[in-house]
Amino acid sequence: MINYFRKTALITGGAGFIGSHLCDRLINDGYSVLCVDNYFTGSRDSIAHLLESDHFETLRHDITFPLYVEVDEIWNLACPASPIHYQRDPVQTTKVSIMGAINMLGLAKRLGCKIFQASTSEVYGDPEVHPQVESYTGNVNPIGPRSCYDEGKRCAETLFFDYKRKHNLEIRVARIFNTYGPRMHPADGRVVSNFIIQALKNEPITLYGDGMQTRSFCYIDDLVDGFIKLMNNDEGFQGPLNLGNPGEFTVRELAETIVELTNSKSDLVRRPLPEDDPQKRRPDISLAREKIGWEPKIPLEEGLKKTIVYFEELVRQGCERCS
C-alpha cells in the first residue's frame, strides 16, 4: 500500500556512489525519492535495484539548468568528485558546483524547503592546519588543475550561506572527507578503488610520490548516517560540518593493507606526485560529536573487506571499467 504521507526528497547526483546509498537510506527511512542525475559519472547500475519501488523515480537532468519539481527537501550531491573525472571537463565542473547550487537554492527558496549541500574537505586545499577544523579557511590554489573542484565547492558554500542570510533559507553543509565502499566508480582514480583493482589483478600498485602522504577513510554507511543526523538535527545546526573518519593512514599503509587482505602478489611502484595533491588530510570531528552526536563506527579493515567483495565481483564479471 502506498503511503501518501511520505516526504519526497530530491537527490541530485543520486545515481552516484554516495547518492545511491543515500537513496537507499531515505527510502528505508520512509521517504519517496526523486533521483536526478545526468550520468556523467553516475551509473544506472547503482540504482537498478530501486527501480521497482513505488517510492523511487529517476529524472535525467543537468542541474546547470533550472529544475521545476515539487519536493519536501533537497540534497545537492551533483558534481564529479575525483580528479580524473572533474578535470576531464573543468569548466563544466565549475558550472555544476556554482550554477547547480544557484538553481537548487532557487528551487529551495521557491518551495520553502530545507536544502543540504555536499561540500568537500578539498575546501581546505593543502592544509597548513592539521587536523582540519571547520574554522580553518584553507590553503587553496585558485588557478591550478584542481581549482575547478576546490574553488567551485568553496563558492557553493558561499552561496548557501548568503541564501541563508538573505532569504532565511534552512541549509545544511557537510564537508566530506575521503569515503569508500561498494559502488565506487572503478575508474575514478581514487586510491581505494585503484589499489583494490590492481591488487585483485596482481598488477603493480601505483603510489604517487613516496606514499607517505596521509588520508582518512570513512566507510559509506558511516557517512550517510552523518548526513541524516546533520539534516535532521533538532537544534537546526547548519554547518559547515566535517564528516569523515579521524583515523589517519599513509597511502603506503593503505596499499600494504589491501595487498594483505586480497592475498595479492602485487608490488608497489612509485609515480610522480600530481600538482597540488594535499600532503595531509584528516578531519577534526569534535564539532560533529558535539552538534549531532556522530562519529564513524566501521574500522578501515572491516570496511575494506566489504569493498573488496564488491570489486571482486566486478573483476570476475570482466568489468570494462576495471581495466
- Report the chain's terminal Cα–Cα distance, integer Å: 44
Residue 86 lies in a domain: yes
pLDDT at 1: 39
Q: Which residues in 61-212 belong to E strands, given as ranges? A: 73-76, 114-120, 171-176, 179-180, 205-208
Which of the residues 31, 124, 149, 180 is marked catalytic? Answer: 149
Q: What angle do CA 231, 171, 282 make, to 5 degrees?
A: 65
**124 in Cβ contact with 66 (< 8 Å):** no
Residue 261's Cβ-side half-sphere holds a number of Cα atoms within 13 Å equal to 23
Domain count along the chain: 1
pLDDT for position 56: 97
Domain-embedded: residue 269: no
Q: 192 near 254, Cβ under 8 Å?
A: yes
Indicate if 149 belongs to the active site: yes
* pLDDT averaged per 10 residues in sequence order, the chain, 323 residues: 75 97 97 96 94 96 97 96 83 95 98 98 92 94 92 97 97 97 88 93 88 91 98 94 95 93 91 71 95 97 96 81 58
CATH number at residue 92: 3.40.50.720
pTM score, whole prediction: 0.93
Does residue 116 form part of some domain? yes
Q: Is there a domain that residue 30 lies in?
A: yes
Closest CA to 38 of 90, 84, 109, 93: 93
Residue 222 forms part of a structural domain: yes
- Residue 163 is placed in which grid cell? 541564501
Q: Is residue 187 part of a domain?
A: no
* Domain that includes residue 12, residue range: 8-181+218-246+277-298
Cα–Cα distance for residue pair 78/93, rounded to 1 Å: 10
CA 163/CA 117 separation, integer angstroms: 12
Identify whether 233 is part of a domain: yes
Predicted confidence at residue 109, as pLDDT, reads 98
What integer pLDDT is reported at residue 203 of this predicted model? 93
210 domain residue, yes or no:
no
Crossing angle of the two packed helices 17-28 and 220-231, in degrees rounded to 10: 60
